[in-house]
Amino acid sequence: MKIWQKKEGQTPDNLVDLFTVGRDKEFDIVLAEYDVMGSIAHAKMLGKVGLLGATELKEVVQGLEEILLDIRKGVFIINDDAEDVHSQVEYLLTQKIGDAGKKIHSGRSRNDQVALDIKLYLRAKIGEISKELKSLFDLLISKSNTYKDSGLHGYTLLQLAMPSSFGLWFGAYAESFVDDMEMIVGALKIINRNPLGSGAGYGSTFPLDRQMTTDLLGFETLNWNAVNAQTGRGKGEKAMASGMSFIAATLARLSMDCCLYMNEHFGFISFPEHLTTGSSIMPHKRNPDVFELIRGKCNRIQSLPNELNLLCANLPSGYHREMQLTKEILFPAIDELIFCIKMAHLMIANIKIKEDILTDKKYTYLFTVDAVNQLVTSGVPFRDAYKIIGNQVADGTFNFSAEKAEIPTHPHEGSVYRLCNDEIIAEMEKVMMKLKISS
């Protein structure tokens, strides 16, 4: 029997059951740990308000902790006849301790249970993502400092533009991740609010202490309004997806750069053979499959906010069954993003940079702006200097090289000559402080 059935013989048609449950059990396994953590906090609160006796509370907490241990050992399963993780945990607890296990659902609904589970899961995953991204950030900053004097072309519209450096290139992606983490901070702000006690969206007549469970579970605050706790379902998921899409966009662009730069026509970077793949017919080929797959996977992740927006569109207030579908959209994508960050770290850690790129004569026109600026500093008006150099380019007489470029006495912030990596590190540290998550 399902926990909402009143008597035998009320089981839905098997096809209806299959359709309505869908992939819930697959993702409920992921939520099991958080479901039990929430149940422990809820039980302690029930004990405080007198809905569980002292002996019952001790039995309930001990039984739940044993179930939690099984989950962490990887031996917990959801039985075929159990509807979801909530009913499985309640069933196991009742088998362990008897009738006291039947009391833990007092003052809550599966609606606020699953809302809580998802928030705890997303909060934990934000911690995981931030840890992996900070590691990649640190690597990019290290590479930026190492290769600050290694010349690289700057491009606009994918045409040669101005001199740049690998230091500037690596640092750009490091700072981009600072921006992306700000989006994750925003997501955490929305997610880190306790829905437990809102029940099915209309609260309870029991004297629940919602502040107590908020404190026990390390939430920043509550979803104060019980209706909003349910009507707001999907909002945290969408915020999370938006933050993920920002990270994915940066990873996809970094991957695209690497695919271009290791192409023979560019030849700026290379990777050890074991990190690339070959061709079944062309013996010379070394392919950037890792970066192409990061790019593809991250482009898919960028579609998440739109998919969740469409799923949650035009719904009236209250809970709706569509909300269960957010799990199968978001959960696999979170693991995919974490894997992509790890693979990007592996590749960048093993990157090899070609030196002396800018000494090649074919890149002479990179230095037209340097030539213009030198004329300007000697007193020529900028527009006149621009025309002088432009005419030299047009008639083929322009002759300038990296050696002729003057290093500025006071380089501005964020230029080739002043990377400001220390300032970027400070910005990331500020963001990471905002991501301090209670355990």
Domain boundary among 88, 106, 124: 106
pLDDT at 51: 96
Q: Is 270 in the same domain as 397?
A: no
CA dihedral 79, 85, 87, 91 (to 10 degrees): 60
Q: What is the pLDDT of residue 10?
A: 56
Q: What's the gap between Cα 77 and its chain centre? A: 28
In a domain, 414, yes or no: no
In a domain, 123, yes or no: yes
Residue 316, φ and ψ in degrees, nearest 5? -75, 175
Most confident of 19-23, 80-84, 225-229, 399-403: 225-229
276 and 305 fall within a common domain: yes
pLDDT score recorded for residue 81: 84
Quick check: 7 pLDDT over 70?
A: no
Residue/partner pairs of 428-431 with CB below 8 Å, 24 or more apart: 428/134, 428/137, 428/174, 428/177, 428/178, 428/181, 431/178, 431/181, 431/182, 431/185
36 and 100, same domain (yes or no): yes
Asked if residue 352 lies in contact with residue 269, where contact means CB atoms within 8 angstroms, the answer is yes
CA distances from 235 to 191, 326, 437 (A): 8, 10, 19
Which range of 156-165, 263-272, 345-354 scores highest in mean pLDDT? It is 345-354
**Structure token digits, residue 268:** 């700026």
Residue 73, domain CATH = 1.10.275.10
Whether residue 314 has pLDDT greater than 50 = yes
By mean pLDDT, which of 11-25, 30-44, 103-117 is the weakest? 11-25
Residue 29 has pLDDT above 90, yes or no: yes
Residue 3 has pLDDT above 60, yes or no: no
Residues 295, 351: one domain?
yes
Question: Quick one: 195 and 229 in the same domain?
Answer: yes
171 and 293 assigned to the same domain: yes
Question: What Å distances lie between residue 63 and 25, 53, 84, CA to CA?
Answer: 22, 15, 19
pLDDT tens per residue, range 69-125? 999 999 999 998 888 999 999 999 999 999 999 999 999 999 999 999 999 999 999
Q: Which domain holds residue 253?
A: 111-144+165-357+424-434
Instruction: Report the 10 Å Cβ neighbour count for 75.
Output: 8
User: Are 126 and 42 found together in one domain?
Assistant: no
Are residue 93 and residue 172 in the same domain, yes or no? no
pLDDT at residue 361 tops 90 = no
Is the confidence at residue 437, as pLDDT, over 60? no
Q: Examine the domain organization and report whether 269 and 128 are in the same domain.
A: yes
- Whether the predicted pLDDT of 438 surpasses 50: no
Instruction: Report the pLDDT value the prediction gives residue 220, as an integer from 0 to 100.
Output: 95
Please provide the average confidence, as pLDDT, over all residues in the chain. 92
How do residues 53-63 score in pLDDT, each as one tens digit?
Answer: 999 999 999 99
Q: Are residues 353 and 366 in the same domain?
A: no
CA distance 186 to 191: 9
Q: Flag whether 337 is in a domain.
A: yes
Q: Is the pLDDT of residue 316 over 50?
A: yes
409 assigned to some structural domain: no
Same domain, 231 and 261: yes
What is the C-alpha separation between 273 and 189, in angstroms, rounded? 43
Q: Kindly state the helix (H) or strand (E) to which residue 115 belongs, with its residue range.
A: helix 110-146
Q: How many domains, in total, are found in the chain? A: 3
Query: What is the percent of the chain where pLDDT is above 70?
Result: 96
The maximal CA–CA distance of the chain, rounded, in angstroms, is 95
Tell me, yes or no, whether 439 lies in a domain.
no
With respect to residue 187, please indicate whether it lies within any of the assigned structural domains.
yes
| 41: in domain | yes
Assign 200 to helix, strand or coil.
coil
Query: Domain for residue 115, yes or no?
Result: yes
- The answer for residues whose C-beta is within 8 angstroms of residue 305's C-beta and 6 or more apart is 238, 241, 242, 245
Rounded (10°) angle between helices 289-301 and 325-349: 150
**DSSP assignment string, 169-194:** HHHHHHHHHHHHHHHHHHHHHHHSEE
| 397 and 269 housed in the same domain | no
State the average pLDDT over residues 121-143. Answer: 97
Q: How far apart are CA 269 and CA 104, in angstroms?
A: 59
Q: Where are the alpha helices (DSSP H) in 147-272?
A: 166-191, 210-216, 226-231, 235-261
